């Protein structure tokens, strides 16, 4: 029997976690619903693909609770109680809860208890001081140990951080993101050339930096790298999704200070990443803190482009160093510049790495493999549900 799943996410923007949930939830759309704690483009995307969506607005103090936990005021506690109660009533119509973000997990863990429904937490963050406050980490690991039936980690790096924070290892399964390669395979040479044409780039060397703007994603590092490569252009694709507009403005300002405005192109958030990735010579990923997984790394590989990434987090599990791309110590601008310059000067090597990257990404990070992994966990959890 197909399980009725209530997927829960606090966010309705198009982040990597949400795009991955889109792939999972549409597979279960006949029987399941995605419950969002805010409204936005993610709802529209899901509905356009026939996924049922329900919005239950979380109060603002819950959604904006600060990383050090100090935002968890009395108001937030009252909102949490109200939301938990609402969610528990809805959860009664489903077989299990599947939380896709930390905030969603906190509410789902409590609601699952009230409604006697098992909870899967798809953990997509590295729980470390670089990203989260101590209180926050304690809260979610304690709730996971008490209330989650399974914790699906998006990488070994994410799983290890959870376990290092005393999350229970027996609950953890690692399932890498799988990405649909079809959209990448469909891109034609002329579409990629058109991107270059519109930017007036001809056959200039072009480095692509893809991802939402955030200080830990390290767009500022990528700028410094480009400043050391006078012949290269840079394509920056992505926007601030979670309120980091000041950082995005800082990066643009820094580009001007470095005199890069004529060779750095900020395109904002785009939905045509396959075409854009096929237009660049290589993908640069300069995260300063470990990337939990890094979908854009796999996507660059599906576009048959070598990826030069920071040697940390999920990138270590995705990139085969020297075979599909290059890894560089995080934040080491000189080492990044040397790696990128070497590849830009060597088309044959780029082609060889790109071909190996494509092969590895399609084999190891397929959508089917991810869906099979998730289905196994759902079956195991639903099968154990107390009657
Ligand atoms: N993305 C997009 N448009 C953009 C920038 C990013 O559609 O302008 C997508 C990208 O294709 C990827 C996701 O956003 O699937 C980002 O996921 P990733 O795991 O790299 O990072 P996250 O934002 O989840 O930390
Ligand atoms: C999160 C992480 C990112 C990961 C994505 C999908 O947003 O920041 O590294 O790829 O989730 O699991």
pLDDT digits (tens, 9 = 90+) for 337-350: 999 999 999 999 99
CA dihedral (97, 241, 184, 51) positive or negative: positive
CA distance 229 to 143: 48
Q: How confident is the model at residue 68 (pLDDT cuts 50, 70, 90)?
A: very low
Q: Which two tokens mark 107?
A: 């509410």
User: Which of 44, 211, 280 is the pocket-test mutation for ligand 1 (most atoms within 8 Å of CB)?
Assistant: 211
What does the pLDDT average to over 366-386?
90
Ligand 1 pocket (Cβ < 6 Å) reads 14-17, 19, 210-212, 237-238, 269-271, 273, 293-296, 299
262 C-alpha vs ligand 2 centroid, how far in Å? 31
Higher per-residue confidence, 65 vs 85:
85
Q: How far is CA 121 from CA 154, 208, 283, in A?
A: 11, 32, 31
CA distance 216 to 220: 9
Residue with CA closest to ligand 1 atom 16: 16
Instruction: Please give the pLDDT value at position 130.
Output: 82
- For residue 20, what is the DSSP state? H
On whether the CB atoms of residues 42 and 14 are closer than 8 A, the answer is yes
Q: How confident is the model at residue 175 (pLDDT cuts 50, 70, 90)?
A: very high
What does the pLDDT average to over 136-155?
97
264 C-alpha vs ligand 2 centroid, how far in Å? 25
278 C-alpha vs ligand 2 centroid, how far in Å? 22
* Atom of ligand 1 lying closest to residue 124 CA: 24
From the DSSP assignment, how many helices (H) and strands (E) are in the chain?
17, 13
| Angle, alpha carbons 43-47-50 (nearest 5°) | 150
Is the pLDDT assigned to residue 385 strictly greater than 80?
A: no
247 Ramachandran zone, left/alpha/beta (phi>0; psi -120 to 50): alpha
Residue with CA closest to ligand 2 atom 4: 293
Residue with CA closest to ligand 1 atom 25: 16
CA distance 48 to 349: 41
User: Which of 11, 17, 314 is the pocket-test mutation for ligand 2 (most atoms within 8 Å of CB)?
Assistant: 17
Residue among 323, 330, 263 nearest 294 (CA): 330
* Atom of ligand 2 lying closest to residue 155 CA: 12
Instruction: Please give the pLDDT value at position 2.
Output: 80
Nearest ligand to the CA of 154 is 2
Of the listed ranges 53-67, 173-187, 268-282, the least confidently predicted one is 53-67
Enumerate residues 6+ apart whose C-beta is below 8 A from 210. Answer: 237, 238, 273, 276, 277, 283, 285, 296, 299, 300
What does the pLDDT average to over 357-362?
98
CA distance 201 to 325: 24
Report the percentage of the chain scoring pLDDT > 90. Answer: 90
């Amino acid at each position: 029997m197909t399980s009725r799943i209530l997927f829960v996410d606090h966010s309705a923007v198009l982040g990597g976690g949400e795009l991955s949930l889109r792939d999972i939830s549409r597979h279960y759309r006949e029987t399941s619903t995605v419950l969002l704690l805010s409204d936005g483009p993610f709802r529209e995307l899901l509905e356009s693909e026939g996924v049922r969506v329900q919005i239950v607005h979380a109060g603002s103090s819950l959604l904006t609770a600060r990383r050090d936990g100090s935002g968890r005021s009395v108001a937030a506690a009252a909102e949490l109680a109200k939301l938990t109660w609402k969610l528990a009533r809805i959860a009664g119509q489903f077989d299990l809860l599947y939380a896709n973000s930390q905030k969603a997990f906190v509410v789902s863990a409590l609601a699952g208890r009230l409604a006697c429904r098992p909870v899967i937490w798809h953990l997509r963050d590295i729980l470390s001081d670089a990203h989260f406050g101590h209180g926050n980490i304690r809260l979610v690991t304690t709730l996971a140990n008490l209330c989650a039936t399974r914790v699906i980690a998006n990488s070994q790096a994410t799983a290890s951080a959870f376990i290092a924070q005393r999350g229970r290892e027996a609950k953890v399964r690692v399932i890498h993101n799988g990405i649909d390669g079809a959209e990448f395979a469909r891109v034609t040479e002329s579409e990629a050339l058109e991107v270059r044409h519109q930017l007036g780039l001809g056959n200039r060397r072009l480095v692509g930096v893809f991802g939402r703007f955030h200080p830990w994603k390290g767009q500022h590092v990528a700028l410094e790298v480009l400043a050391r490569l006078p012949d290269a252009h840079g394509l920056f694709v992505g926007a601030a999704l979670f309120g980091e507009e000041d950082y995005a403005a800082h990066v643009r300002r820094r580009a001007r200070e470095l005199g890069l405005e004529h060779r750095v192109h900020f395109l904002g958030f785009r939905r045509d990443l396959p075409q854009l990735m096929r237009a660049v010579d290589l993908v640069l990923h300069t995260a300063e803190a470990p990337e939990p997984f890094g979908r854009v790394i796999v996507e660059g590989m599906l576009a048959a482009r070598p990826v030069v990434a920071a040697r940390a987090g999920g990138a270590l599990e995705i990139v085969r160093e020297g075979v599909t791309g290059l890894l560089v110590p995080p934040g080491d601008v000189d080492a990044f510049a040397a790696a990128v310059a070497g590849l830009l000067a060597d088309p044959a090597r780029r082609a060889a790495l790109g071909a190996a990257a494509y092969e590895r990404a399609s084999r190891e990070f397929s959508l089917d493999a991810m869906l099979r992994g998730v289905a196994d966990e759902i079956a195991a959890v639903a099968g154990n549900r107390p009657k």
